[in-house]
Chains A and B, each alone.
Chain A
Amino acid sequence: MTTLTKTEGTPAPNGAESFLSVRDLKVQFSTEDGIVRAVDGLSFDVERGKTLGIVGESGSGKSVTNLTVLGLHNPRTSTVDGEIILDGKELVTAKEKELEQLRGNKMAMIFQDPLTALSPFYTVGRQLSEPFMKHRGASKKEAKDRAIQMLEKVGIPQPKVRFDDYPHQFSGGMRQRAMIAMALMCDPDLLIADEPTTALDVTVQAQILDLLKDLQQEFGSAIIFITHDLGVISHMADDLLVMYAGRAVERGSVREVLHEPKHPYTWGLLSSMPRLDGDLDEKLTPIPGSPPSLLNPPSGCRFHPRCAFKDEVQGSLCSDTRPPLGEGRASACHLTAEQKQTIFIDKIQPRLR
């Protein structure tokens, strides 16, 4: 098999410096009903060659964050504050021309629904070749060779023939493979995968997830993996960010967050999920209520109206003050570390097994 050589500097696998750094990001949309604060003060870092998982329910701002990183938000209806630094370059204030240079080249995206993300008018081959020709100045022939090579890499049978097919001639799993091939065409340093397997069946999902993982090892890209499925994330990510109503509520390595969660929302998520090996007589413990509207989000901690443990905090701290999210392994909650520890051991852990 042809070796794919990296054209840019090889990533430092130990990667002490963060490659993408988002600081205090705020995204607001003005709508007829008022201002929607889709993302409200979000900070995170992604290291080279590592995978950051972002989990949250629909409307928690996880997709908006990543569209903003790529500069795909509509500048007329949205305002963006804060900093997004990709490899030393500030993206929030960057011009559209500069972003165009980066998109599809240095950073690429895999969308949830490959049928709507691929254009039905052009062949898969042409859609794959285009970014390579644009960013690398390659000829049509070179781009075609590269595209066929990538299609083979992601496991599309008879890539030479399928190059001239249209997206509708592909099955769902194959389309998603083609999307991955397209994202990897220019060997991006950052890959954003927004629910890449949600539209797929479980057996196909397992294939695609393993494929992404193996490809990452070969290409060394950093991946931001967005999903609502904690099971998927536990297999894919190194680090994990849990989002709720536009804010990060918990951060840490996947093991830490899923095995010793420290935020009531993460507890709720984990104990509301049935498991394949769980206790059958145990009832599921849902989180009461439903996610808040971002037009009029709750004051203080945004989770407090649904939180089962807010009474343990003195006074009205939960409804008045926004709990800060520290650096590194942290959770944004007013409960003290000891309280969290006792609640987790006494009440949460028994539910998880």
Chain B
Amino acid sequence: MSDNLTLPEQQGTAATSSETLLEVKGLTKHFPIFGGFPIKRKVGAVQAVDGIDLTVGYGESVGLVGESGCGKSTTGRLITRLLEPTAGSITYAGQDITHASRRQLAPVRSEIQMIFQDPYSSLNPRQTVGTIIKSPMEVNGIEPEGGREKKVRELLELVGLNPEHYNRFPHEFSGGQRQRIGVARALALNPKLIVADEPVSALDVSIQAQVVNLLQEVQKELGIAFLFIAHDLAIVRHFSQRVAVMYLGKVVEVGDRESIYNRPRHPYTHALLSAVPEVGIEDEDRERIRLAGDVPSPISPPSGCRFRTRCWKAQDKCASEEPPLVQLSGNRDGHLTACHFPEDPTTQRDEDVVLDPALKVLEEHASED
């Protein structure tokens, strides 16, 4: 069954996102928690990802944003099948790979590659750069024209490294250069989809732009689809055509870039955008929303809408009924929001929303003086 997985040659052609490359439906991952003595029993579960729907088209770049612990990295690992999903389905190029066996997965694995967050721990310190980039080809038994070493040198050049660095070790490189090695390794198998899990957040500001530009070139020139996972909203906006916002294991809002950043509807998207510190934007120009507390624990998430415990619009309905991810009236096609009481599609607001109790007290004091 696996032979028919080989895709038509997509590389080099203009990116078309009309066709679906990857489709995720109701994807769920619960990590069990064991406890008790003497026999350990399952006492609960971390509901890291709880029923998300997502599609990635051919050559499309989709951003996945959210705070730590919202399940965005778990989603990435489920899609690359580094983790086994608890429920739901993953369809890659028309093929259901949700519970595919190792053998069934083998041809797909080479087409879905991953770039990791930490360039220091994702490269084997005992292997040379050449070995690191070569090994995916060896594992998959791929013999490129002119030999593997030639291919590696080409890849090194493609990602902006000197081909003569073939025999060097990772410690001889800086953080940005290491991340380039990670990119070269992901490109070694001509993938159709790259899952990039926070690829630049471990890098210095001046280096981040270098890697973002490299990824963007790779995406455009080779027509590779990207699932770009990051917490930095500005970088995601720069990189992705479509963006999905996650909160506590759920996708709360998804849409094209312009809709999410300029016409957000979900209160959490509003809060997230207003919290980003920006140079050059004066405070008065933007809405100011300050939530209270931290994200609740995914072990026992709130009933109904998961954001309701931190939401300023929450009502009884939010606790009893989970809002479906639907297209609201006035939204563009593909802009879906999961909220019972959506906000206006703007990023401006007359009055600040301050939920944090300490801030409230301090600011009331200040205004009284």
Contacts and interface: CB of A to CB of B under 8 A. Distances in A.
A201 B209 contact: no
B271 interface: yes
B340 interface: no
A284 B238 contact: yes
B206 A207 contact: no
Interface string B213-248: 100100000000000000101110110000000000
Contact of B234 (A153, A173, A274): A274
Interface string A252-270: 0000001100000000111
Nearest to A202: B275
What band does the interface of chain B fall in when counting residues whose beta carbon is under 8 Å from A?
Answer: 35 or more
Interface string A280-293: 10011111101100
B234 A155 contact: no
B27 to A, nearest CB: 23
B1 interface: no
Nearest to B271: A203
Given A285-B209, A286-B210, A235 B361 contact: no
B57 interface: no
Contacts of B359: 155, 207, 210-211, 214
Interface in B265-315: 271-281, 283, 290-295
Nearest to B212: A284
B206 A201 contact: no
A202 B365 contact: no
Nearest to A268: B206
Given A203-B275, A235-B283, A258-B279, A276 B363 contact: no
A5 to B, nearest CB: 15
B365 A231 contact: no
A119 to B, nearest CB: 22
B356 A274 contact: no
Interface in A290-344: 290-291
A230 interface: yes
A283 B277 contact: no
Contact of B204 (A202, A210, A291): A291
B365 A275 contact: no
A291 B212 CA distance: 18
Contact of A206 (B207, B233, B257, B290): B290
Contacts, number: 157
Nearest to A1: B361
A269 B280 CA distance: 14
Given A272-B208, A286-B213, A153 B279 contact: no
B7 interface: no
B159 to A, nearest CB: 14
A210 B291 CA distance: 11
A228 B277 CA distance: 12
B206 A276 contact: no
Contacts of B357: 155, 157
A172 B292 CA distance: 13
A272 B238 CA distance: 12
Given A201-B68, A203-B275, A234-B278, A272 B356 contact: no
B37 to A, nearest CB: 21
A218 B365 CA distance: 9
Given A1-B365, A210-B290, A230-B279, A275 B67 contact: no
B275 A206 contact: yes
Nearest to A282: B238
A234 B280 contact: yes
Interface of A: 1, 57-58, 152-155, 157, 171-174, 177, 201-207, 209-211, 214-215, 217-218, 228-232, 234-235, 258-259, 268-270, 272-278, 280, 283-288, 290-291, 352
26 contacts: A154-B358, A171-B294, A174-B294, A202-B233, A204-B291, A205-B275, A210-B356, A210-B359, A211-B358, A211-B359, A228-B205, A231-B279, A259-B280, A272-B206, A274-B212, A274-B237, A275-B234, A275-B278, A275-B280, A276-B233, A276-B237, A276-B261, A276-B273, A280-B237, A284-B212, A286-B208
Given A171-B293, A231-B276, A287-B206, 9 more contacts: A57-B204, A201-B295, A211-B358, A234-B279, A274-B235, A275-B278, A280-B257, A290-B204, A290-B207
